[in-house]
Amino acid sequence: MENASGKTKSVLESAKNSFKTILTKPHLFFFSKPFALIYMTYFGTYLTANIIDTASSMRKGTNIKTVTTGTEKFVATSATNMSLGLIKDRNFARLFGTGSPRPVPLPTFILFSARDAMTIGFSFNIPPRLTPYIPTNPLMKPESCAQFLAPAACQILSTPMHLLGLDLYNRGEKPGWKQRLQFIKSNYTQSVLARMCRIIPAFGFGGVANAEMRRNLMDMIQKST
């Protein structure tokens, strides 16, 4: 967001500043408003997904460790992620955007919502469906590989919506579509890479860790009953 708004010259410069803060002043980073907003978004998203998985398994009488991929999970998890994500993005746009804080315009709201819905679908619904098509290998389980690949691949499709939403917020309706397309084109590659670097820890490592933690927790519950 800093790069798209013009506050930093490149994504690398923004990342460098963030890593410098983590290394030299970790308390400022982990207790900052941006970190709290990100933590809130992902914690709420995973909590909702786990609740849906457990409730669905109990209702259907299947193994309690079963991971669902149906519509109810997509709708519930998307609603949670989009609601929390819009709170996050509204605050981020005001923190890192240009000019004085102002309401998020409807087109930006719609674009951010579509972006987040795609991310949820590729992070929670696509990986289990993709797993059977991934060959087994000694390095990584197929389900883990799918969990890394799907959210990362989503960024190739969702980044233009992200950049257009930011541009509509930062520059309003003044620029023409030719200028907007040029803006997206000039920022696309670095933004895709930056968003992949952000999404892989969040829904790649995070998704694998969440699945393992949920399985272990369900095993403990089954053994205690």
Sign of dihedral through CA atoms 102, 107, 110, 111? negative
Output the six-digit token pair for 201. Answer: 């820890």
d(CA 151, CA 207): 10
Given a contact cutoff of 8 angstroms between Cβ atoms, the answer to whether 179 and 114 are in contact is no
- The residue to which tokens 């490149």 are assigned: 10
Given a contact cutoff of 8 angstroms between Cβ atoms, the answer to whether 49 and 207 are in contact is no
d(CA 133, CA 82): 29
Residue 141 pLDDT level (bands cut at 50, 70, 90): very high
d(CA 36, CA 113): 20
* Residue 206: per-residue pLDDT: 94
**pTM over 0.85, yes/no:** no
CA angle 104, 106, 107 (to 5 degrees): 105
Per-residue pLDDT at 188 exceeds 70: yes
Q: What SS3 class is residue 97?
A: coil
